[in-house]
Structure 1
Amino acid sequence: MTWKMIALDLDGTLLDRSGAISEENAEWVRKAHSSGITVVLVSGRHRLRMVPVVERLNLRLPMITTNGCETWSADGRLISRCVLPWKDVEAVHLFAFQHNVQYRAYCAEGVFDSDRSHHLAQMDYSWLKVLLKSEDRRSLYDAHERLLATNRVELIVYGLPGEPQHIDVQPKGTGKASALDSLCTSLGIRPEEVVAFGDDRNDIEMLRWAGMGVAMGNAPDEVKEAANMIAPHYLESGVGRTIARIMQQASA
Structure 2
Amino acid sequence: MVDPVPHDWQPKLVALDIDGTLLKWVEGTGQHYEQISAPVHDAIQRAVDAGAHVVLSSGRSPHGMTGIADLLDLPREGADRLWVVASNGAVVFRYPPLEILHEETFDASAAVAAVLREHPEALVAVEERGVGYKVNRPFPEGELSGDMIETSIDDIVGEPVSRVIIRDPSASVDDFVALGRRLGLHGTDYVVGWTAWLDLQPIGVSKASGLDHVCRHLDLTSDDVLAIGDGRNDIEMLRWARRGVAMGQAVPEVHEAADATTESVHDEGVAVELARYFGS
Kept in 1, the 8 Å contact 2:176–2:191? The answer is no
Q: Out of 49, 68, 80, which is 1:53 matched to?
A: 68
Q: Which runs of 5+ in 1 are unaligned?
A: none
Kept in 1, the 8 Å contact 2:46–2:279? The answer is no
Q: TM-score, normalised by structure 2?
A: 0.77
Match of 1:190 in 2: 221
Q: How does 1:32-71 map to 2 (within 5 A)?
A: 32-60=47-75, 61-71=82-92
Kept in 1, the 8 Å contact 2:43–2:278? The answer is no
Task: Give the share of equivalent positions with the same residue, in percent.
Answer: 31
Aligned partner of residue 244 in structure 2, secondary structure:
strand
When structure 1 is superposed on structure 2, of 209-218 and 221-230 the one drifting more is: 221-230
Paired amino acid for 2:224: E
Displacement of 1:97 in angstroms is 5.3
When structure 1 is superposed on structure 2, of 90-99 and 9-18 the one drifting more is: 90-99
Deviations 1:196-219 (A, max 9, x none): 000011111111110111111111
Tell whether 2:208 aligns with 1:177.
yes
Aligned partner of residue 73 in structure 1, secondary structure:
strand
Deviations 1:9-32 (A, max 9, x none): 001101122131101101111121
Paired amino acid for 1:34: D
Tell me how far apart the structure 1 counterparts of residues 20 and 261 of structure 2 sit (CA, whole Å): 14
Q: TM-score, normalised by structure 1?
A: 0.85
Structure 1 233/159 Cα, relative in aligned 2: closer, same or farther at 3 Å? closer
Deviations 1:213-236 (A, max 9, x none): 111111112211221221111111
Whichever structure has more helix as a proportion of its residues is 1
Q: Out of 209, 221, 241, which is 1:210 matched to?
A: 241
Aligned partner of residue 208 in structure 1, secondary structure:
helix
Tell me how far apart the structure 2 counterparts of residues 45 and 70 of structure 1 sit (CA, whole Å): 10
Tell me how far apart the structure 1 counterparts of residues 251 and 87 of structure 2 sit (CA, whole Å): 21
Q: Which runs of 5+ in 2 are unaligned?
A: 1-8, 26-32, 76-81, 139-148
Aligned partner of residue 217 in structure 1, secondary structure:
coil
**Number of residues paired by the alignment?**
242
Displacement of 1:54 in angstroms is 0.7
State the superposition RMSD in angstroms: 2.7
Tell me how far apart the structure 2 counterparts of residues 16 and 143 of structure 1 sit (CA, whole Å): 28
Displacement of 1:81 in angstroms is 0.5
